[in-house]
Amino acid sequence: MIDVCLLGTGGMMPLPYRALTALALRYNGRTILVDCGEGTQISMRQQGISFNPIDVVCFTHYHADHISGLPGLLLSMGNSDRTEPLTIIGPRDVERVVNSLRIIAPGLPFKINFIELKEDVEVLDILGLTLTAYRVNHSILCYGYSVSLKRAGKFDPVRAKELNIPVQYWRELQHGNEVVYEGETFTSDMVMGGERKGLKVTYCTDTRPVPIIEEIAKDSDLFICEGMYGDMDKAADARDKKHMMMQEACEIARKADVAEMWLTHYSPSMNKPQEYLEELRKLFPRVVVAKDRFVKELKFEES
């Protein structure tokens, strides 16, 4: 199970009623935070998400609205007695940028490890999840992130009994290990079905539409995507500033055939993003015009 909380839905600057876009993903008691603008820690507190279990912070890019909350978060993590190292992942210069901001957060009781993204697509194993960073197309170097959780095939107890494997060995086989019993070797594939559908959540902001987004987001259970403007009069603005229209996000979601899409990163000029919902549903029926602190529990399908 992955717990998703979209901590904010604003772009550019924090507003009293709209926090800056950031995402908390919780799995197995640990948390991955994607982006951390000014006020992200306030939204986390509002949602009751504690700072201590944050093991990984990923940055899409280094515009202030995506990273200015980092020094304060680091201090709050320090104040919550964290001593385990923290991993910070981001585009080129992640260490230099974070250290420059740390002029106001110098002494921390935990170490920071940096992972600098170098390739257009990088796949990392993080906290038992597969984290894919993929380069998008913004005014500065920017990445999207996708997190997926694999699910092994289903164990077949009838087959295990037919093979005369004692019950106490079943667990080993379920975990993919070999078992030797009375001189005979049993392998996992003898009793496990093919890999089942896992879970996938994909995050994408700030960018123009580019093919890699659709490719990475393909079949996601949840796709969280920038929708900077809904008014088509702003389409030229979106192009110039390398942002995405709500309508463009819907087109990507449709092609990627995601189960659900949440729009986010609204322009401060857009007071009521909800007003475009009806129009957007014609483009992609499973679109949600998200609000701050929308949550979703992603669970494996019954099978």
Residue placing its CB nearer to its own copies in the complex, 135 or 293: 293
Pick the catalytic residue from 35, 65, 206, 292. 65
User: In the bound complex, what is the minimum distance in angstroms from residue 34's beta carbon to its own copies?
Assistant: 17
Known active-site residue 65: yes
Task: Name residues whose C-beta falls within 8 Å of residue 134's C-beta, 6 or more positions apart in sequence.
Answer: 120, 121, 143, 144, 145, 146, 212, 213, 216
Q: 169: buried, middle or exposed (CB in 10 Å: 19+, 13-18, 0-12)?
A: middle
**Integer Cα distance of 266 and 8 in angstroms:** 10
* Nearest-angstrom CA–CA distance, 221 and 39: 28
User: Which of 161/272 has CB closer to its own copies?
Assistant: 272
Nearer Cβ to its own copies, position 60 or 202? Answer: 60
Sign of the four-CA dihedral 227, 233, 234, 236: positive
Closest CB to its own copies among residues 13, 121: 13
CB of 81 to its own copies, least distance (A): 14
Binding site for its own copies (CB under 8 A): 12-16, 37-39, 41-42, 45-46, 62-65, 67-69, 71-72, 75-76, 79, 96-97, 100-101, 103-105
Q: How far is the CB of 238 from its own copies (least distance, A)?
A: 16
We find the least distance from the C-beta atom of residue 12 to its own copies, in angstroms, to be 7
Report the nearest approach of its own copies to the CB of residue 279 (Å). Answer: 28
Measured from the CB atom, is 72 or 153 closer to its own copies? 72
The beta-strand segments (E) located in 143-253 are 143-151, 179-181, 184-186, 196-204, 222-226
Alpha carbons 14 and 17: distance in angstroms, whole number: 8
Dist CA 147 CA 134 (whole Å): 11
- Sequence-ordered list of residues with C-beta below 8 angstroms from that of 281, at least 6 positions apart, any chain: 287
**Distance in Å, CB of 106 to its own copies, minimum:** 10
Beta strands 222-226; 261-264: pairing state = parallel
Phi-psi region of 176 (alpha: psi -120 to 50; beta: other; left: phi over 0): left
Q: Residue 171 has what DSSP assignment?
A: H
For its own copies, the closer of residues 92 and 171 by Cβ is 92
Any idea which residues carry the catalytic annotation?
65
